[in-house]
Amino acid sequence: MRTIAVAGASGYAGGEVLRLALGHPELTVGAVTAAGNAGSLLGEHHPQLVPLADRRLGPTTAEALAGHDIVVLALPHGASGPLAAALPADTVVIDCGADHRLTAGAAWSTFDEEPHAGSWPYGLPELPLAAGGRGRDALHGVRRVAVPGCYPTAASLALAPGLAAGLLEPDVVVVAASGTSGAGRAVKPHLLGTETMGSMTPYGVGGVHRHTPEIEQNLSAAAGSTVVVSFTPVLAPMPRGILATCVARLAPGAGRPAAGDVRKLWAEAYADEPFVHVLPDGRWPRTGATVGANTLHLQVALDERAGRVVVTAAVDNLTKGTAGAALQCANLALDLPETLGLPLAGVAP
């Protein structure tokens, strides 16, 4: 059994990591820590985690987290870098924040005031790469992993096969709706139930959302050249889930492919991926079908009149979009079966 510690355990992402860790046959939960909630019982924040409800949250320090096989950092953006630097080099550290995702410091500084903490191996195992292979090739046996953002997980896996095959122009549009848990657990007036129920609101419009350079980084790796992304996130009146609609023009050299051939390209790209499902023709992704599962559902359509490909993707932002990805990457880092302990079935209704 390996021990896993979770920093930021009182938050939504930290709680989801613990839920999945409880069902993992090779993991046992060690330290659970928090910042402002240190000293309180975990059950006060996550009553659903009955086996851990009596655990007392400790302070988030390197001393509290050291000595574990795996440390998951479910912390606010900008908080992981200094803490990770103080952890032992032989510990598998999985960062669920944005601190270590971007390879270019300039891209980080455009969206964040904190110093760039550096780049870690990027934890999107299924991502097709222009040079061949997948994102998982860089994750076996590593001791530091940057978990993708939830929006980039959906958008990147939605569009990567078409860019890797040269079918799509490297200029794409992504509009994605997310549940309120994606904004974290801190109390914010615009996230109150009275503000969100029965209402949808765009935010981060005009290329200013922090996930934009991350999506561009991933899709450029798939295309083998620079990809420009216009990304608009939308707050949706639901607790969890992302539905992304991703659109790109057919590349000039793509000719006039048939709709069935376009869809077949995606189906073949992910045929061996247990967590990415291209749905049967005519069936469209639903966020509710992915709740609690480490899965991403896709559908592909060809808009022949407009000369564009439209890909829709649904994912649970807390499971495959964060915590499930963290444990999937931990499995790879520890040379365990990649699917170990990760649910394929969602919770519905």
Closest CA to 326 of 3, 13, 37: 13
Say if residue 210's pLDDT is above 80.
Answer: yes
Catalytic residues: 150
Distance CA 323, CA 13 (A): 6
Closest CA to 9 of 35, 25, 94, 28: 35
Contact 44, 71 (CB under 8 A): no
Task: Say what the pLDDT of residue 261 is.
Answer: 97
Domains along the chain with CATH numbers: 2-120 (3.40.50.720), 151-315 (3.30.360.10)
Task: Say what the pLDDT of residue 187 is.
Answer: 73
Section 263-282 average pLDDT: 97
pLDDT in tens, 221-261: 999 999 999 999 999 999 999 999 999 999 999 999 999 99
Say if residue 183's pLDDT is above 90.
Answer: no
Section 4-23 average pLDDT: 98
Section 85-105 average pLDDT: 95
pLDDT in tens, 114-135: 888 899 999 999 999 998 999 9
Instruction: Dig out the tokens for 61 from the structure.
Output: 């320090």
Closest CA to 313 of 329, 341, 289, 346: 289
Closest CA to 2 of 20, 21, 28, 32: 28
pLDDT in tens, 316-339: 999 999 999 999 999 999 999 999
Say if residue 43's pLDDT is above 80.
Answer: yes
Section 132-142 average pLDDT: 97
> In 157-189, which positions are buried (b, 16+ CB within 10 angstroms) versus exposed (e)?
bbbbbbbbbebbbbebbbbbbbbbbbebbeeee
Instruction: Dig out the tokens for 342 from the structure.
Output: 């990760």
